[in-house]
Structure 1
């Protein structure tokens, strides 16, 4: 009896122990993840649809993942920016221009000229075998912190926060709070930078609204009326003001135009189309620009034509909206003089190359930046219509604020030409050669403006004594090319392309 009792007791004990083991095994099973990371899901899906180089990125292929693998892939990281950049095609080499942001509303506002900034626009060049960097003030945004501090075009600075400007620290200039030191009475002696004094300027950024129509003037020389326009960004909400400015030129009977795009990093393709019409006028309904998308969006391949009417836009409720059209004030010119620098990019390059098949374009200055691709703003708004997918800003997913500005198209002029390495000038001017002699806008002795006026009138506008500096330099970049969206090209209104 005791043996039987003992046997039953041991059997029950073994049963409970084995059950406990099974329970423990079940508890140790990993939880199956079924919830998608919304941001990464949006990033992958939108790039899979729109990205210009989609077929060149293995991880963006339609059949790259099973459902389980895809879920694991998009949930593999919370680093949304890193996830985005890892999906780009040879990022930093082939694709230098795609961006992701965690605040799409700020991104949209920046396209209207509204952004947090110091108002200091500059170029950087390395000297002394690359050991040091000099900064040249290209222009100052009116009423900005830099303007109030007293900085002016042509100033040369060589320190940031009390330290010599070098490759190690120059990116501090992209921050919104810093101090720069300007050289006074500087000179180049034995190919070395020297100066007699210095002055510090402390600048703290604030929200600014920049008007891209920075400066204009009409010169009356030898019976010619020469319009000079400094145009610093292609912002569609200023199309009406730009057309008004060309109306003034037209009323004055302007015979020649000098278009200063040295500090214009680009912007709206729609504004570029409008500017082309304002400069010409005699080529209405002629092909101006062709846009080519990836294979999934071939139906979006389209052409922009010169048109007697230009589109007008306003920034409202967080996005750019159409407010109708108006007749372009066209100058009907057969030649235009364009001032360029290494920072002349995207929509500026479009203007130069798209005008060339129709009129003479005399380019003065430096080789341009070399950006012949563009983007649209993508938000988390899937749609069954592939050509509307991820573009509906108003009805986007509000659970997060991410947005993307990836490259989605390449563009060509009416001859199907493209200049991916940049556009070479007809007359070369290295602006660093004239440090200390860079004049305020409109001063006819400013090196580039003087050369353009000389080409038009035959007169000399610079003193023979103002010789080039004997200084070996290497370009580093400028305030437009060193920041996000500084060389952006995007479409404001697709309806203007057919």
Structure 2
């Protein structure tokens, strides 16, 4: 076992190149407010520098309390769970917290030890930062990454973040988000004026109760001009309204639909998000086509996917449209199960779904194969571990994708192609997240730092710029997801009939503004659970 604890899980990241305003996804609470993650204001301007000091000249000398890098691997076990402020009581599963009394210095030594042993680019981390100069573990973690740039001038490591452990576990095991049940897409350029459009409304959420729909444009938050406001006070007030940090607080919003403004009041709540929706069988002239929209590979999704594929198999589905346009990723074992349920045993037997490649200090880890039985993840409605999975045995599948299709979702596409399954992509290029990491819980915060790169059965994993679509089609916000007349699904059904991409509509040609989903980094990952 290569991880220091069975509770740790390897994770493939898929963090947005541009960070979200404060949180995102299903309108969840702000990780920036509670976990110290870097959270730019909605203006798109860079936030103030972290409180970490400017590094001293690169003398190669460590401060007296810093560890010799050659001994940091051994120090990992020594400093893990030594906390300046230990938690007391039990976690959500009734287990006592592992925290022991320690110091801030212990927490910093723990982070440096982990980085030196497991970070993919450990030999590029500067050793010029003095632990004694830091007053926050989060600020110290922020500098424990490579400062290198890519050829295009972007940061080589854009996937470094933290999340409150309790919130992270609630999202993964229970499918719960704090917020309004609302997902936005935003313009990336220009930053002002801002264009934020509703892309998804969770059934049963405050957003649905308020009557919001796909395509509605946000214009005001608590009577502040959202489109053009600037300045710290306005930005703070907007963040407070958009991303509540606790349930029960009401905020006012103005939206615009077809040019007409309207106001709604929504109260933040814990929203249970169903990751699998719109399961249906479409009768076409060429046979029955299964369709489902799939939003996140979490524990809740495992049973829902099995139920969906059981329905498809019972109804004689001969083709499938898998809608992952907003799926940021999640559990890689769920991704491997999904790929198996599409392709079946004949195409996947003995083949690797995804193989992680680590730094030169780590030995090879066992690859993820195409799983034919359920893992049995914790959820409100779990499936029994070892249950045989239903499968369709398809030699091709159509995937609806956008730049919001990340990580574990990309692994589904890449893994199927590695098994010689034809994957037709309709929509846009995926986000491009081939890297991975182990989320490390320590003292109430879970740390995410790149550890590996994932490749398929053929050894391919070079999609840092995304997986290109077969047909470029704009996301159609004028119709609900799952409507056969909605742009991406209509194009998929048409391609199935005539094997040709549709001509761009006048509307899609006119919309040249690049949009990205607003969601937290923890919603763009792929988790590799430990072996039992």
For the aligned pair, the TM-score class normalised by the smaller chain equals: 0.7 to 0.9
Report the 3-state secondary structure (helix = DSSP H, G, I; strand = E; otherwise coil) of the residue aligned with 1:295.
Answer: coil
Which shows bigger deviation, 44-53 or 242-251?
44-53
Q: 2:215 and 2:158 mapped to 1: Cα distance? A: 29
TM-score by length of 1: 0.75
Residue aligning to 1:79: 136
Residue aligning to 1:298: 363
Report the 3-state secondary structure (helix = DSSP H, G, I; strand = E; otherwise coil) of the residue aligned with 1:199.
Answer: strand
Residue aligning to 1:273: 336
Structure 2 unaligned residues grouped into runs of 5+: 1-63, 67-102, 149-153, 245-249
Q: 1:445 and 1:297 mapped to 2: Cα distance? A: 50
The answer to whether the aligner puts 1:231 opposite 2:317 as a matched pair is no
Which shows bigger deviation, 48-57 or 162-171?
162-171
**Where in structure 2 are the equivalents of 1:33-432 lying within 5 Å?**
37-59=105-127, 73-90=130-147, 93-101=155-163, 103-112=164-173, 113-125=175-187, 131-162=192-223, 163-166=225-228, 168=230, 175-176=243-244, 178-185=251-258, 195=259, 197-281=260-344, 282=346, 283-300=348-365, 302-315=366-379, 324-357=385-418, 358-380=420-442, 400-417=443-460, 418-431=462-475
Q: 1:211 and 1:272 mapped to 2: Cα distance? A: 16
Listed one character per residue, the Cα deviations across residues 58-108 of structure 1 (whole Å, up to 9, x for unaligned) are 32xxxx8xxxxxxx933332222111011122387222222223x312222
TM-score by length of 2: 0.71
CA contact (8 A) 2:215 2:257 kept: no
CA contact (8 A) 1:174 1:479 kept: no
Which shows bigger deviation, 323-332 or 162-171?
162-171
Listed one character per residue, the Cα deviations across residues 7-54 of structure 1 (whole Å, up to 9, x for unaligned) are xxxxxxxxxxxxxxxxxxxxxxxxx98966232222222222222221
Query: Offset at 1:491?
Result: 1.4
Q: 1:494 to 1:474 in 2, by over 3 A?
A: farther
**Structural RMSD (CA):** 3.1
Q: 1:150 and 1:36 mapped to 2: Cα distance? A: 48
How many pairs are equivalent? 411
CA contact (8 A) 1:154 1:440 kept: no
Q: 1:459 and 1:415 mapped to 2: Cα distance? A: 26
Q: 1:298 and 1:244 mapped to 2: Cα distance? A: 38
CA contact (8 A) 2:425 2:470 kept: yes
Structure 1 unaligned residues grouped into runs of 5+: 1-31, 65-71, 186-194, 381-399
Mark the structure with the bigger radius of gyration. Answer: 1
Query: Offset at 1:234?
Result: 0.6
Q: Which has the higher contact order (CA 8 A, sep 6+)?
A: 2
CA contact (8 A) 1:125 1:474 kept: yes
Q: 1:253 to 1:468 in 2, by over 3 A?
A: same
The structure with the largest strand share of the pair is 1
Q: 1:97 to 1:205 in 2, by over 3 A?
A: farther
Report the 3-state secondary structure (helix = DSSP H, G, I; strand = E; otherwise coil) of the residue aligned with 1:39.
Answer: helix
Q: 1:74 and 1:323 mapped to 2: Cα distance? A: 47
Residue aligning to 1:442: 482
Report the 3-state secondary structure (helix = DSSP H, G, I; strand = E; otherwise coil) of the residue aligned with 2:367.
Answer: strand
